[in-house]
Amino acid sequence: MRSTDFGSRGRRADEQLAVMRLLWDDRPDGASFHGEFFDFDHAMCYPKPMAGARAPIHIGGHSRAAARRAGRLGDGFQPLGVGGLRTDRVASP
C-alpha cells in the first residue's frame, strides 16, 4: 500500500474537486488536466450529471479549512461531528 502525505490533503482535495467538475463537463474529446496530483489527457467519465445541470458537491469536515473549502469550491457544508454552538466556531472566520 502506498502512503500519501497527510500534509497535502487540502491541496489534494481542492484539485480533486476541480478534476470532478472538469470530468463532468460535456467535452466530446475528453478532459485534460495537468496538476500537482492528477495528470491526464482526453479522459472521460460516465455517467455525467444531467445535461445542463451542475451536480452539487457538499464538503464534509469539522475544521475551518473544510468550511472555507466549502465556501470556495463546494455547494454546501456538512460539519461532520460538530453540533450546536461548535458549528458557529467552525464556520465563522
pLDDT digits (tens, 9 = 90+) for 5-33: 888 989 999 999 999 999 998 889 999 99
The dihedral sign for the CA sequence 8, 56, 74, 35:
positive
Q: Helices in the chain by DSSP H: which ranges? A: 9-24, 64-73, 85-91
Model confidence pLDDT, tens digit, residues 44-75? 999 988 877 788 999 988 888 988 999 999 99
C-alpha angle 1-37-55 in degrees, rounded to nearest 5: 105
Question: Does residue 93 have a cis bond before it (omega within 30 degrees)?
Answer: no
Per-residue confidence (pLDDT) for residue 80, from 0 to 100? 79
Question: Among the listed ranges 36-40, 41-45, 53-57, which one has the minimum average pLDDT value?
Answer: 53-57
Q: What is the pLDDT of residue 86?
A: 57
CA separation for the pair 49, 26 (Å, rounded):
10
